[in-house]
Amino acid sequence: MKQSRLFAPTLKEAPSDAVIVSHQLLLRAGFIKQVAAGIYTYLPLGKKVIDNIETIVRAEHTAIDCSELLMPALQPKELWDQSGRWDVYGGELMRLKDRHQRDFALGPTHEEVITTVVKDYLNSYKKLPLSVYQIQTKFRDEARPRFGLMRGREFIMKDAYSFHEDAASLDVEYDKFVQAYHNIFTRCGLDFRMVEADNGQMGGSGSAEFMALAEVGEDTIVYSTDGDFASNIEVHDLAVGEPAPVGNGTIQHAKGIELGHVFKLGTKYSESFGVTFLDVDQKKQALMMGCYGIGISRIMMAIVEQKNDEFGIIWPKNLAPFDVHVVPICTKTPEIIDHALDIYASLQQAGYDVLLDDRPERAGVKFKDSDLMGIPLRIVVGKSIADGSVQIANRQTGEKLEVKVEDLKEALSEIYANLK
RNA sequence: CGGGAUAUGGCGCAGCUUGGUAGCGCGCUUGGAUGGGGUCCAAGAGGUCGCAGGUUCAAAUCCUGUUAUCCCGACCA
């Protein structure tokens, strides 16, 4: 991609509405743009990051044999009446009417829909277990949207649902999701913790949350110094310094951003929707269910909150919008831009996703924008090209290295391999 | 939903107290100089001052209402 053609409006100053660093940087670096309170457009750079997150999420779900589908955002009231949640969900459910004055909701979650979708198919124990997921825009009419992508009224979520003949099967699947979630958040480069969580209005028999550690987090994690215990403070309201209920540690507190939540739902939804199957003894039984969510757009925000410095964002390589930023400077010299174009083409051929800053800007402007965007590797093509060398700059470590053009690919692949 | 604040060009802000018809920095356009960390000079373009009503000869400025956005709290798979 040539930067002169990329829609990436960077700002020197953060819009005054943004108060936390991730919100400010995502706005300044041109990743998102606000449309209304809690509603954002993902600009091209932001969209690329979202896509990268989704790629990881998809791969880890495929790995546990969970298949992807896509359900409607628009859901009729009747479904929500069946679960009883039309009345209990409250003001957060975004409600609307069609032209015939029939009631609909924009889905904040999809237990009602998925239960209806699988109902006819899952009539035998032979078809169990089954798990499916989708990645979709969710709607919640938050009383107070805030902090950019942290608490939006419209956001991208991955939600998965599993169906089982008994609790033992649910336990097995639940553990697979827990492992998949560990893999996902690790691959995203997040500093996170799994904690015991409240079941909330979802009901069910067990749940855990995955929290990104961050001071701006809205949740409080209580954990023990020996690592044997971690919980949302909603479940165990323990004070700092108390002995932990498990193990020998003492309690500490930390702030976290909830990125994922796994639930054992039990039979709550299958009972209200009358979803039953015949077991091996030809007895009719209610399905056991699990559900598993990840805030895709929230991951982008959480990463920026964790990975930044005074100059801008520092993307982990798996999420970065581009792998390499080729930055020619002194562009008055025509051979420099020619060399940069050659390097750009050859790195693309080598499989890197490359952004070429072909704009007629001065060096300082290009460096500032590059730092702000946070692409992990930068190749500066300048005067030193006269003796055949360019500079590789590592955004993550700050290291800079002069290399001959003929050695560039090799040097780059070594540095790339060591990126986080 | 309670409490607090803000709304003036793409972004950041001043002007409002003490009404006289809008200004600064950045950005943008053109020209020139510069050319390895947001360069400098000059000339330009761009604003129904959130919206509606009121007071007044005259409203960005005063009054009333309203909408939007942000923060704190409550709420929150």
What's the CA–C1' distance between A39 and B53, in Å? 32
The pLDDT > 90 percentage for chain A reads 95
* Alpha-carbon gap, residue A260 to A247, rounded angstroms: 25
Lookup: nucleotide whose C1' is closest to A384 CA: B36
Average pLDDT rounded to a whole number, residues A328-334: 84
CA-CA distance, A194 to A175, in Å (whole number)?
12
Compute the average pLDDT of residues A146-172: 96
pLDDT of res. A333: 84
Q: Which residue is nearest to nucleotide B36 (CA to C1')?
A: A363
**Class of the A322-417 domain?**
alpha beta
3-state secondary structure of A382: coil
Query: Given pLDDT bands bounded at 50, 70 and 90, which one contains residue A74?
Result: very high
Contact, A172 vs A180, CB < 8 A? no
Span CA (A86) to C1' (B1), Å: 20
**Maximum Cα interatomic distance, chain A, rounded to a whole number of Å:** 82
Q: How far is the CA of A212 from the C1' of B3 (A)?
A: 30
Q: Can you say how many angstroms the Cα of residue A216 is from the centroid of all Cα atoms in its chain? A: 17
Give strand letter and number of the nucleotide nearest A329 (CA to C1'): B36
DSSP 8-state code for residue A243 = B
In b/e form, how buried is each residue of A295-308, taking b as 16+ CB within 10 angstroms? Answer: bbbbbbbbbbbbbb
Nucleotide nearest to A261 (CA to C1'): B77
Q: Which nucleotide's C1' sits nearest to the alpha carbon of A382?
A: B36
pLDDT value at position A106?
97
Nucleotides of B under 7 A from a protein CB: 1-2, 11-13, 25-27, 34-39, 68-77
Identify the pLDDT of residue A200. 63
Residues 6+ apart with CB under 8 A from A403: A389, A390, A391, A392, A411
Q: What is the pLDDT of residue A334?
A: 83
Q: Where are the domains of chain A?
A: 3-309, 322-417
User: In this predicted model, what pLDDT tens digit does every residue of A10-36 receive, in sequence order?
Assistant: 999 999 999 999 999 999 999 999 999
| pLDDT above 60 for A262 | yes
pLDDT of A204 reads: 61
Task: Tell me which of A232 and A206 has the higher pLDDT.
Answer: A232
Residue with CA nearest B77 C1'?
Answer: A202
The mean per-residue pLDDT over the stretch A362-387 comes to: 96
Residue percentage of chain A with pLDDT more than 70: 99
Q: With 90 as the cut, is the pLDDT of residue A201 above it?
A: no
Residue nearest to nucleotide B73 (CA to C1'): A144
Beta bridge pairs of residue A206: A264
Report the distance from CA of residue A186 to the C1' of nucleotide B53 in Å, as an integer: 58
Taking the CA of residue A361 and the C1' sugar atom of nucleotide B44, their distance in angstroms comes to: 21
Beta-carbon contacts of A24 under 8 Å, excluding residues fewer than 6 positions away, are A14, A15, A18
Å separating the CA of residue A16 from the C1' of nucleotide B57: 39
Q: What is the mean pLDDT of chain A?
A: 95
Measure the CA–CA gap between A200 and A262, rounded to whole angstroms.
Answer: 12
Determine the distance between A78 (CA) and B66 (C1') in angstroms.
Answer: 36
Measured CA A362 to C1' B38 distance, in angstroms: 9
Tokens for A137, please give them: 């825009």
Which residue shows structure tokens 């409250």?
A90
Average pLDDT of the segment spanning A58-80: 97
Indicate the pLDDT class of residue A331, thresholds 50, 70 and 90: confident
Q: How large is the ipTM?
A: 0.96
CA A77, CA A89: separation in Å to the nearest integer? 12
pLDDT (mean) for A90-109: 95
Q: Give me the sign of the Cα torsion angle A328, A331, A336, A339.
A: positive
Residue A300 or A269, more confident:
A300
Q: Which of A41-45, A87-91, A206-210 is predicted most confidently? A: A41-45
A3-309, superfamily in CATH? Answer: Bira Bifunctional Protein; Domain 2 (3.30.930.10)
Phi then psi for A354, rounded to 5 degrees?
A: -115, 135
In chain A, what is the straight-line distance between the N-terminal and C-terminal CA atoms, in Å? Answer: 23
Burial of residue A359 (CB within 10 Å: 0-12, 13-18, 19+) is middle
pTM of structure: 0.97
Alpha helices in A85-203 (DSSP H): 85-88, 111-119, 167-187
Nucleotide nearest to A365 (CA to C1'): B38
